[in-house]
Amino acid sequence: RAKSAGGNRFEHADPEADARAITRHGLTTALPTALERGEFFIEYQPLVHLADGKVHGAEALVRWSHPTHGVLSPDRFIPLAEHTGLIVPLGRWVLEQSVRQARAWQEELAAGTFAGPVRINVNLSPAQLHHPGLVADTVEVLERVGLAPGSLCLEVTESALIGADEDLLKPLRQLAEMGVDIALDDFGTGYSNLANLRRLPVSVLKLDRSFTQGMQQHPADAVDIKIVEGIVSLAHSLELAVTVEGVETGTQADHLRRLGCDTAQGWYYARPGPPEMLHTLSLADAV
């Protein structure tokens, strides 16, 4: 917005920036009622074992069905919810829905096509990590719904844990000790301190989709392949599983399987969708 800063009256007006700021403001003020009105919903994206194509679980991805803007992706409103603190009740809602859904799948889905009981991945924002109720809320939901802690994986971005002290790691450590998996999301996009990995209570590395896409775009120089190879070997030596994001082609899946990645997620297998999608995923499609 063109403010008269320091008496400069010739500042360039930017109507697009104005419009964006107005939209942002509108979305921010609408967030609390959106939760009350039930405008949020969750799409699930399958996670697949690279070795045999069996479904391992799914990641819960929240969407906002806005009355006038249509369906909004989380990048549009999670930062706003994070900023205003609404992320804590919203995150609790996502956790509850996701845990219930995982429990329902475990009751409904036939074993065989699925690699053991279906597991659920839920994203956590930094503000949720800082919230004192995280451990108690999580335990309460798991117990009430009757889902084993080992069926839940909480995804935390690498950048949220950069420079994290023991106070911040403690709740994650407690959850990990109970059997909840902690995944380091978007791994490789931050200032990855590989030595630091040892000290974090994580059991899964989720390799950012920029690596998967880089592999496709620059096959000749193969830098991304070498990096992935290095990360996989380091992760496995630390007994961490490796999940790859953004697998869009069979060629990528083949590469990643050869490089020893454990699980994969991406449009090649399935786009995020309604929970019923997991019922219709056939083994043949997934391999």
**Residue 25 Cβ, how far from ligand C2E at the closest point, in Å?**
21
Which of 161, 127, 125, 116 lies closest to 263 in space, CA to CA? 116
> Which CB, 151 or 265, lies closer to ligand C2E?
265
H or E segment to which residue 166 belongs: helix 166-178
| Binding-site partner at residue 73 among Mg ion, ligand C2E, none, CB < 5 to 8 Å by type | ligand C2E
Q: Which of 158, 185, 224, 262 binds Mg ion (CB under 5 A)?
A: 185
Q: Is 104 exposed, middle or buried (0-12, 13-18, 19+ CB in 10 A)?
A: middle
Question: What is the C-alpha to C-alpha distance for residues 47 and 118, in angstroms, rounded to an integer?
Answer: 10
> Which CB, 30 or 245, lies closer to Mg ion?
245
**Residue 3 Cβ, how far from ligand C2E at the closest point, in Å?**
31
Question: What is the C-alpha to C-alpha distance for residues 110 and 282, in angstroms, rounded to an integer?
Answer: 12
Does residue 123 interact with Mg ion by CB under 5 A?
yes
Question: What is the C-alpha to C-alpha distance for residues 85 and 70, in angstroms, rounded to an integer?
Answer: 23
> Which CB, 169 or 245, lies closer to Mg ion?
245
> Which CB, 227 or 287, lies closer to Mg ion?
227
**Residue 184 Cβ, how far from ligand C2E at the closest point, in Å?**
11
Binding site residues, ligand C2E, CB under 6 A: 45, 60-62, 73-75, 78, 91, 94, 123-125, 155, 185-186, 209, 245-248, 265-267, 272
Q: What angle do CA 42, 45, 48 make, to 5 degrees?
A: 155
Which of 195, 201, 197, 207 lies closest to 261 in space, CA to CA? 207
Binding site for Mg ion (CB under 5 A): 123, 155, 185-186, 208, 245
